[in-house]
Structure 1
């Protein structure tokens, strides 16, 4: 992952990225994390956000699943859908990430973004039931990048969805699960990707 080593990425961040890649269960997710990072970078170009905050969002995207290190391999590598108990273990991962990142003061902003990546715009997410702009801005970008990647890539239990399906989900969930402004820009980027594929 050395290609992600850019100015502003400190040694602690790079060590965490290395820790993710060193665990066998994460080898298959390397491309997924790369895709999410690339999508967030493209999204951020469309927004007038301070450079320092943009860098923090990019950093957080690269390590947003660091808490998954606490999840047993039998859950991470399960070929089908997770049951309720297994989902609860996975849902605890962002809080575990918070515990890990609490020891890295230089990643304090990224820590908050990662803890709250599963909050919903309408307040029905977790762990804090935050609503709208109460949700850290980086968390809102991560949520959309994860959703787009989950829908457009193959999973063990289903094939990748077409971009048309992803566009529909973004539009349906804008203002519900997702920040409506970011969701609209994400949909535009996906439309451009679909147009490029057709040409």
Structure 2
């Protein structure tokens, strides 16, 4: 799943009725295939009879963090860190697994929009880091799963550093409107001065 997948929610109303997810207007067959990975996590966010606008979901880092956490698997315990404009220090709380989604949904309803949300499982199984504007997406597989959605400039800086200092990992990257899968850090293809070209397969 990438930012392109999330973009399929734009302009749509999502509802839970009879334990089923209803999407209006109805997606095309191709769009429905793209949305399929989001069905279970969307149902986890919605109460029976509840609705949410896709645009509202995409505009809330609290809600997006809840959606992605539900998709990737809720850890038993999570350190949740929230960065709010105008606050000198981030807010960091330890959240048990059953409370993670309710906590994020409550924050979406009652607190200002954060500029960044960082979730880290205490067992190292999941890191989820969202920072607005969401311009680039990176999913890294290893002993744990890492999911990043960041401004493009920050992503490029991270990829440059990772290519120099981290072991190769299977990654999915969306940057500059293109999505790739690769078994190594894909930084050189975007900044050739840092090394040889890396062969990447479109996701």
Range of TM-score over shorter length = 0.3 to 0.5
Q: Quick check: which one's helix share is greater?
A: 1
Identify which of structures 1 and 2 has the higher relative contact order when contacts are C-alpha pairs closer than 8 Å and 6+ apart: 1
Which structure has the bigger radius of gyration?
A: 2
